[in-house]
């Protein structure tokens, strides 16, 4: 039973570029959440997708956008990258109903030069 998978593992970009990160949820999970974790901080909620719609959003600018596909996988897009966007980006999945515990992927480490 595959857990949450994310790609790529590492990514290096320059300021102003755009990036797309991908996530496949754990089998049986239909809800995907994205988090940003800066060094020395706890993960910060970006947004959550269920039934291909953004259901909740954290305090992140519109440069951060996402999508969920019919197979429940999801993408996180970040436009006009800033140095401050350098972080570990974590995808978590869970069922929409029942326990709210979320299971995390290994993350994508994004570095902006």
Partner 1 sequence: RKEVEQDPGPFNVPEGATVAFNCTYSNSASQSFFWYRQDCRKEPKLLMSVYSSGNEDGRFTAQLNRASQYISLLIRDSKLSDSATYLCVVNGSGYGNKLVFGAGTILRVKS
Residues lying near partner 1 in the complex (CB under 8 A): 31, 33, 35, 40-45, 48, 50, 55-56, 58, 88, 90, 92, 94, 96-97, 99-107, 109
Q: How far is the CB of 10 from partner 1 (least distance, A)?
A: 11
Q: How far is the CB of 67 from partner 1 (least distance, A)?
A: 17
Between 42 and 84, name the residue whose CB sits nearer to partner 1. 42
Between 81 and 90, name the residue whose CB sits nearer to partner 1. 90
CB burial string 56-92: b at 16+ within 10 A, e below? eeeeeeeebbbebeeebbbbbebeebeeebbbbbbbb
**Neighbour count for residue 109 (Cβ, 10 Å):** 15
């Amino acid at each position: 039973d595959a857990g949450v998978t994310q790609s790529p593992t590492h990514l290096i970009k320059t300021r102003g570029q755009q990036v797309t990160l991908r996530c496949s949820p754990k089998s049986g999970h239909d809800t995907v959440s994205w988090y940003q974790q800066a060094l020395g901080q706890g993960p910060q909620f970006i947004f959550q997708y269920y039934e291909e719609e953004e259901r909740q959003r954290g305090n992140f600018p519109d440069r951060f956008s996402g999508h969920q596909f019919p197979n429940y996988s999801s993408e996180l897009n970040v436009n006009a990258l800033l140095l401050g966007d350098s972080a570990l980006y974590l995808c978590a999945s869970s069922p929409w109903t029942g326990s709210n515990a979320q299971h995390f992927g290994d993350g994508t480490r994004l570095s902006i030069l």
